[in-house]
Amino acid sequence: MAATWLPLESNPDVMNKYLQNLGVSEKWNIVDVFGLEEEALQWIPRPTLGLILLYPVNEQSEQRHAEEKTDEQKISPKVLYLKQYVHNACGTIALIHSIANNRDKIEIGDGPLKKFLDEADGLDASKRGELLQNAEGIIQSHAEIALEGQTAAPEPSTPINFHFVAFVHVDGDLYELDGRRSGPVNHGPTTPEKFVEDAAKVCKQYIERDPNDVHFTVVALAAKD
């Protein structure tokens, strides 16, 4: 990864402003997920099209990912996935993965994101990642919105030990999309009705691997109340 961006905060207000700046319809919002148990999940507005997990990166998490096999899975050709080649771009990439894999439901107006997705169609994951490095409209919007979080933005060179990953339902399966991995991870069958609960189970697995770490957050891409 050559370029470095300011990190994006896991803050629904910031993320929603960012998506609207990129041309995403206000009918869809990023909302906090306050718990991963069934009762807490019921408070998420429906339909819900994506879950985004922010998790702490450490030696154990990196080792687990290195051991997971992703090259022998069934991956639907409908999945839009892009590689991450920019430091601290994971928040933007998680949002792009969530929106791009739900374009049949989400209206995207003319703007930087629509332009990027139109150009990304037909490219492979690596070329899409390279395309993002030169997507000036998205880069500018990211730079502006990264300054609006509740905490002071660090210098771009400051090491950030947290990472965003997106979960979406595509073509009958639950996919984990992380631009640093070798490809999408298929977590098995799901439905629009079961998606939230199934994605929450995978998020809980992340947390259970590091039960003493409290630096996990989850947000959802859901219909506006």
Pick the CATH number of 12-223 from 3.40.532.10, 1.10.565.10, 3.40.50.10090, 3.90.25.10: 3.40.532.10
Confidence of residue 211 (pLDDT cuts 50, 70, 90): confident
- Range 81-85 average pLDDT: 97
Position 1 scores a pLDDT of: 46
Looking at the predicted structure, is the pLDDT value of residue 221 above 90?
A: yes
Confidence of residue 148 (pLDDT cuts 50, 70, 90): confident
- Which listed residue (97, 163, 169, 203) is catalytic? 163
Looking at the predicted structure, is the pLDDT value of residue 220 above 60?
A: yes
User: Does the annotation mark 203 as catalytic?
Assistant: no
Beta pairing class for 28-32 and 185-189: unpaired
| Contact present, 223 and 46 (Cβ < 8 Å) | yes
Question: Length of the chain in residues, anyone?
Answer: 225
Report how far residue 172's alpha carbon sits from residue 216's, in angstroms, rounded to the nearest whole number: 27
pLDDT (tens digit, 9 = 90+) per residue, 105-145? 999 999 999 999 999 999 999 999 999 999 999 999 999 99
Percent of the chain with pLDDT over 70: 87
| Contact present, 43 and 182 (Cβ < 8 Å) | no
pLDDT (tens digit, 9 = 90+) per residue, 154-203? 555 555 688 999 999 999 999 999 999 989 999 999 999 999 999 999 99
pLDDT (tens digit, 9 = 90+) per residue, 1-53? 458 899 999 999 999 999 999 999 999 999 999 999 999 999 999 999 999 99
- Which listed residue (90, 97, 142, 203) is catalytic? 90
